[in-house]
């Protein structure tokens, strides 16, 4: 509804402008091209272009944001329409080639930090709309900063090998056996949403295989675990309602849990702007891919040690956590998530739970949840033993089926990057 409201305001403003334009010669823009630009702006949101192509305190889409990778540091490029330093000289064909094939206009190869492995699924029409939108933003003179990669990764021809192993070029092909809604969701999740960049395991070569799509993995350089979207034991949404999934994606909070860490960024910059229809479509697709039931993880902490940990954990929990999350882990949803039955706490990887205890965090402020409640960071007030104890307690209490964690695991995450 609010989108429609904005649209009608835009119409009023544009008719006023049209009246004013009788006095000033303006650049002619047909209503149709205006619609294309609007669509492009929306799709650029869906693709979260801004998150990487705008530096902190930098100009919109002028690039220059450092992207740490295991192979060195990349700097994102200027995608404003500046003729010399941006993409002002590009054609729509050039732009499509970059999105679809991962090649610059001169044929040069893009590093796969740019998610062309996902963007290749974007249709030509949608690529053209994004390009039309980018042409309307303010051109910024800012020369691209050279990448700072270690030998041998500074040799771009290596990308050819990477492409052979991991890149499947081709637009999204709808599955005729599924509904239009499902196909729209799949297109957004697999294409512009580039969810697989984090939620598919990344191997030592920085690649991910289609056969392992959305199975989750530790995000390199960030030390957050991107849970599997296909396993109901992790972030698999098989037993969530469509409304709960939609809330998580669009508001950043739901009655089942909230987003945090890198996913808070995605909701803040991208998903909160999706229409209710597109959000629902993604929810339907995501619910459908969650099915399998992997075998329960084995505890890595010895039993006697674990029972001591868990009894200390209950003491810490009652003192610091129960006032919000409830004596029985029931929470006060949606602002204080339930911990009992919460998948993200019981996953084999305990990284995210430990990090939430150490670093706390706010879910993103979104149009539908503009004033989120935040989790306090306990890095300063709790010792490694206490962090491990409380994490072990919440992973195993109230019928939760996680495993205990050690103080060493908690200590290791104290130095995890906080960006």
Partner 1 sequence: MTLVFVRGVFLASCLSLLGAVASAEEAYPPDMADRVQACTPCHGEQGKGTNDPYFPRLAGKPAGYLYNQLEAFKSGRRKYPPMNYLLAFLTDDYLRQFAAYFADQRPALPEKPPTDASAAVLDQGHALVTQGDLDRSIPACVSCHGGSLTGQEPGIPGLLGLRASYISAQLGGWRYGTRTATAPDCMQLVAGRLTEDDVRAVAAYLANQAQPADPAPSATGSYSLPFACGSQPEKGRTP
CB-based contact 297:348 (threshold 8 Å): yes
Return the range that interacts with partner 1 (CB under 8 A); candidates 10-18, 179-187, 402-410, 411-419: 411-419
339 binds partner 1 (CB under 8 A): no
Site residues for partner 1, 231-250, by CB under 8 A, read none
CB of 417 to partner 1, least distance (A): 8
- Judged by CB under 8 A, the residue of 193, 364, 402, 404 near partner 1 is 364
Q: Choose one: 18-26, 72-80, 157-165, 260-268; the region binding partner 1 (CB under 8 A).
A: 260-268
Nearest one of 343, 241, 249, 351 to 293, comparing CA atoms? 343
The overall longest dimension of the chain from CA atoms, in Å, is 84
By CB under 8 A, the residues from 343 to 362 that bind partner 1 are 359-362
**Residue choice 103, 324, 341, 384 for contact with partner 1 (CB under 8 A):** 324
**Nearest-approach distance from CB 160 to partner 1, in angstroms:** 36
User: Which range of residues in 8-16, 67-75, 233-241, 375-383 is near partner 1 by CB under 8 A?
Assistant: 375-383
Closer of 103 and 335 to partner 1 (Cβ): 335
- Phi-psi category of residue 82: left, alpha or beta, with phi > 0 → left and psi -120 to 50 → alpha: beta
Q: Which CB atom, from 150 or from 381, has the smaller least distance to partner 1?
A: 381
One character per residue 51-80, x = contact with partner 1 (rule: CB under 8 A): -----xx-----------------------
- Candidates 7, 374, 383, 408: give the one binding partner 1 (CB under 8 A): 374
Q: Which residues of 276-309 are buried (b: 16+ CB within 10 A; e: fewer)?
A: eebbbbbbbbbbebbeeeeeeeeeebeeeebeeb
Please choose, from the candidates 264, 290, 285, the residue with its C-alpha nearest in 3D space to the C-alpha of residue 372. Answer: 264
CA 351 – CA 345 distance, rounded (Å)? 9
Please report whether residue 370 would count as binding partner 1 according to CB under 8 A.
yes
Check binding of 399 to partner 1 (CB under 8 A): no
Give the residue with the Cβ less far from partner 1, 45 or 280: 45
Cβ proximity of 168 and 102 under 8 Å = no
Of 161 and 376, the one with the shorter C-beta distance to partner 1 is 376
Stretch 376-395 residues interacting with partner 1 (CB under 8 A): 376-381
Contact 57, 63 (CB under 8 A): no
Task: Report d(CA 406, CA 341) in Å as an integer.
Answer: 22
Helix (H), strand (E) at residue 226: strand 224-226
Provide the minimum distance between the beta carbon of 375 and partner 1 in the complex, in angstroms, as a whole number.
6
- Cβ pair 288, 312 in contact under 8 A: no
Residue from 331, 372, 402, 404 that binds partner 1 (CB under 8 A)? 372
Rounded distance, CA 43 to CA 134, Å?
11
Stretch that binds partner 1, among 108-116, 301-309, 368-376, 404-412 (CB under 8 A): 368-376
For residue 1, what are its two tokens?
Answer: 């509804």
Q: Is 180 in the site for partner 1 (CB under 8 A)?
A: no
- Please report how close the Cβ of residue 8 comes to partner 1 at its closest, in angstroms: 24
Instruction: Determine contact, residues 57/65, Cβ cutoff 8 Å.
Output: no
CB of 132 to partner 1, least distance (A): 28
Stretch that binds partner 1, among 70-78, 111-119, 223-231, 365-373 (CB under 8 A): 365-373
Residue 295 to residue 43: CA distance in whole angstroms: 39
Cα 159 from Cα 341, distance rounded (Å): 43
Question: Which CB, 217 or 363, lies closer to partner 1?
Answer: 363
Integer Cα distance of 291 and 239 in angstroms? 9
Interacting residues with partner 1 (CB under 8 A): 56-57, 264-265, 267-268, 324, 359-365, 370-381, 417-419
């Amino acid at each position: 509804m609010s989108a429609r409201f904005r649209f009608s305001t835009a119409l009023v403003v544009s008719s006023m402008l049209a009246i004013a334009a009788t006095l000033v010669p303006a650049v002619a823009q047909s209503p149709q091209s205006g619609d294309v630009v609007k669509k492009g702006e929306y799709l650029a949101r869906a693709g979260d272009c801004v998150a990487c192509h705008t530096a902190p305190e930098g100009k919109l889409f002028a690039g220059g944001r450092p992207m740490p990778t295991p192979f060195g540091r990349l700097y994102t490029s200027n995608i404003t329409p500046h003729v010399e330093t941006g993409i002002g000289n590009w054609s729509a064909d050039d732009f499509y080639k970059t999105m679809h094939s991962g090649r610059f206009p001169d044929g040069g190869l893009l590093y796969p930090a740019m998610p062309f492995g996902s963007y290749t699924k974007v249709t030509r029409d949608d690529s053209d709309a994004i390009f039309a939108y980018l042409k309307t933003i303010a051109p910024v003179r800012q020369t691209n900063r050279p990448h700072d990669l270690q030998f041998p990764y500074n040799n771009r021809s290596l990308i050819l090998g990477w492409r052979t192993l991991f890149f499947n070029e081709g637009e999204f092909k709808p599955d005729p056996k599924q509904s239009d809604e499902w196909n729209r969701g799949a297109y957004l999740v697999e294409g512009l949403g580039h969810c697989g960049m984090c939620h598919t395991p990344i191997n030592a070569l920085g690649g991910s295989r289609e056969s392992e799509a959305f199975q989750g993995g530790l995000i390199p350089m960030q030390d957050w675990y991107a849970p599997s979207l296909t396993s109901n034991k992790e972030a698999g949404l098989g037993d969530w309602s469509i409304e709960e999934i939609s809330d998580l994606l669009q508001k950043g909070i739901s009655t089942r849990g909230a987003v945090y860490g890198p996913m808070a960024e995605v909701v803040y910059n991208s998903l909160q702007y999706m229409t209710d229809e597109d959000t629902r479509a993604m929810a339907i697709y995501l619910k459908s891919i969650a099915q399998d039931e992997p075998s329960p993880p084995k505890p890595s902490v010895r039993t006697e040690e674990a029972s001591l940990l868990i009894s200390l954990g209950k003491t810490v929990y009652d003192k610091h956590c129960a006032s919000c999350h409830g004596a029985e882990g029931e929470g006060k949803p949606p602002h204080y998530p339930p911990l009992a039955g919460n998948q993200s706490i019981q996953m084999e990887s305990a990284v995210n739970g430990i990090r939430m205890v150490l670093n706390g965090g706010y879910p993103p402020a979104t149009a539908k949840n503009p004033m989120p409640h935040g989790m306090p960071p306990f890095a300063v007030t709790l010792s490694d033993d206490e962090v491990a104890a409380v994490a072990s307690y919440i992973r195993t209490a109230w019928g939760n089926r996680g495993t205990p964690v050690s103080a060493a695991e908690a200590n290791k995450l104290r130095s995890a990057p906080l960006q």
